[in-house]
Amino acid sequence: MGVPIGGGIGIVTTQDNTGGTLSPAGYFGDILDTALQKAWSTYHPKLEEQLTQLLRTPDLFAKGFSLYDTHVSISSDLAYTIDRTDTDDVVISVTTGTNRIETHSTQPTAAGKWADPAVVITFALSVSYVLDIPPLTAPVSTTGFSHARILAPDVEPDNLIADFAFLLNDIFEWFSGTDAIAEVEKLVAAMDFASILNDALAPLNAKLTELADQGYWFLDVLVDQLDGHSGSLHAQSFTGFSGAPADQLGIVLKVWGFDRSGVIEGEVHWPAALGAPGLPISAQLVDLSRATSMVLNSAHVAAPPAATAPAAVTLTADMTPAQQAAVPRLTAGVRSPADEGAVGKAMAALSTDERLHAVAELRRGAASRFFSTLGTAVATRLIDEIAHGRSDFVVEVTTPVSPGPGMFAVDRVVGRMSGLWAADDETTMRRRYRVVDVATDVPLTVRARLADGQEWHGSVAQVAAEPDGWQGSVTVHRMPEKSKKRLIDELPNLRLNASAQRAVAGALRGQESALNPQPLPPKSVQLSRLLQFAKPDAAASPAAKVTVSAPHVDTRRLDAVRDQISHLVRKRQNPSGDGVVENIDFVLAEYHPPVIH
């Protein structure tokens, strides 16, 4: 759906990411707005020109109807939303105000030019770009065009005789269908928005690089109020950014260093043929951009009079001016259906003036209007999803705590999921996770399950997660300072090492496994020293395969390698580690209820 935001980005720091104070580290007011306005002002005249040429294609909507005297006006009024996609990308969507097309069309009759239809088309345009935000503190960038949408098209007659009423429907269907979207995406994809946006992000990236050098190694993306008026940011004390606009949602980049709490990492995987999790259709949220666009567009259209069926008139070339004037014209156009979702119903309950005022506030990212329109529960959940990424699985870490002497111990949650990453391929679905704020030096029970509200869609009705490669309890020991420093030194190689670690483990099982670096949670790097004895051939591609029988493997050290990573190829009993315990994996299988005899 997307959360509406203003054009600024703030950076906050925290020492331990355990709920302490968040300190403002930099506010870049209107950095997105300035960049996007510059890109839009550069390219939208070209978009108008190319769209005009497209609409002049002969017989574009119906045979015998070709447009001429076409004038395209693309709005310079922009609003922004941020969203997470199914592949866990952060997407920035730019939605225009109302765009307008005025045009005439030829018609295949004996009537003169006076009978040529004239129509007015209004619509909003949404263009989305992927914003690459790495899990480790590093420069952010726009990696390119994602998709475009045509929102809430309306087609109104200007000089349209009744015999050509079908033309309105044909034009509406074209603008509402995939053909128009595909053509617009071709036009937008050819425009180099990314370079303009990335140039504008340079001051922000310089600050992120500076903070990474200071030991703030990890990066989370949040959305919240930037003025600090609420006094907190995701339950952490926050004073706000000086100069941030009041009552406006914006992007916050939270950077933090390695804390003394434990960390558990691993993955949940299953065969793709088993299915996948998903929300029930009834739980899907309406599109905020579509709802606000419909309100904006409707303000440009007068209420239609009562519809009457016009009498058919035969058109001839020798009709007198009086006869031509008497030919019935249509007065009602074809409009997008009313929005019956939560936002649409909330808008419908407002007066016309208040409705336009509400849309204006939503488009600029007004926090109070966003919460009042969607309700606190829904709005909070959307904002939390931006911070936490994927939310289809939950990994819970608990430890038994006794309420008092002689009382049975109760499992207490002692960890918090900070992220869930998708890493699917054609045969296997994977969710890689990180749980932080984990209690140290106590026995931990780790479980994985579907998140609340998720349903399993696939070849089986229910699934259950079982430990894969380990069993028993997990213990995270406090990381010694020496080990912590070694981890910091190795941070730049963490992504590759995490994939390589699994690749070598697969190789020792007698399998070939491709190295395919993914945006993974940070992993410990003991294996990086082992991999120096099994380097890929120089001529191989970055996705080269590692095979233990290959000639480049130092066989004199192979036994040592096997011994040191043998815990990866057999079940570990009660796994433990300093600071970070890795490879606490789960495999999903069909759930069979226990049978009680």
Residue 165 near residue 117 (C-beta atoms within 8 A) = no
Domain extent at residue 143: 8-257
Judge contact between 156 and 54, C-beta under 8 A.
Answer: no
Residue at 165 is within a domain? yes
DSSP string, 396-460: EEEEEE-SSTTS--EEEE--EEEEEEE---SSEEEEEEEEEEEPSSS-BEEEEEEPTT-EEEESS
Q: Are 123 and 153 in contact (CB under 8 A)?
A: yes
484 lies in a domain?
Answer: no
CB burial of residue 468 (10 Å; 0-12, 13-18, 19+): middle
Q: Which long-range contacts (CB under 8 A, 24 or more apart) does 413-419 make?
A: 414/438, 414/439, 414/442, 414/444, 415/262, 415/264, 415/439, 415/444, 417/388, 418/17, 418/220, 418/388, 419/135, 419/220, 419/388, 419/389, 419/521
Q: Are 40 and 97 in contact (CB under 8 A)?
A: no
Per-residue pLDDT at 525: 38
The end-to-end CA distance of the chain, in Å, is 49
How many domains does one find in the chain? 1
Q: What pLDDT is stored for residue 231 in this prediction?
A: 57
Question: 406 lies in a domain?
Answer: no
Per-residue pLDDT for the chain (597 aa), expressed as one digit of tens each? 688 998 889 999 987 666 678 889 999 988 888 888 888 888 888 889 999 999 999 988 888 889 999 999 999 899 999 988 766 678 888 999 999 999 999 888 878 888 888 999 999 999 888 888 877 788 888 877 778 889 889 999 888 887 788 888 888 888 888 888 888 888 888 887 888 888 989 999 999 999 987 767 778 888 888 887 765 666 667 788 888 888 888 899 998 864 456 899 999 999 999 998 876 644 444 567 878 888 888 776 655 555 555 666 778 888 888 888 888 877 777 777 776 677 778 888 888 888 889 889 988 889 998 888 888 887 887 787 777 666 789 999 998 876 544 667 778 888 888 888 888 888 999 999 999 888 888 899 999 999 888 889 888 989 999 999 999 999 998 877 656 555 555 544 444 444 445 554 454 444 433 334 444 444 333 444 444 444 444 444 444 444 444 445 555 555 555 555 554 556 789 999 988 899 999 999 999 888 776
Helix, coil or strand: residue 508? helix
Alpha-carbon gap, residue 38 to 588, rounded angstroms = 48
Question: Per the domain annotation, does 106 fall within a domain?
Answer: yes
Gap between the Cα atoms of 353 and 101, Å rounded: 25
Is residue 548 in a domain?
A: no
State how far the Cα of 189 lies from the Cα of 323, in Å rounded to an integer: 49
Alpha-carbon distance values, 543 to 26, 497, 503, 561 (Å):
38, 13, 11, 22
Spatial distance between the Cα atoms of 273 and 429, rounded to a whole number of angstroms: 9
The domain spanning residue 243 has which CATH number?
A: 3.15.10.10
Residues facing 394 on adjacent strands = 449
Kindly give the interhelix angle for 367-374 and 376-388, rounded to the nearest 10 degrees.
Answer: 120
Residue 440 is assigned to a structural domain of this protein: no
CA angle 453–435–508, rounded 5-degree value: 105
Residue 180: its pLDDT value, please? 85
Residue 217 located in a structural domain:
yes
Residue 214 domain flag: yes
**72 C-beta neighbours (distance < 10 Å), count:** 19
**Residue 596, CA distances (Å) to 189, 461, 589, 593 in order:** 60, 21, 21, 9
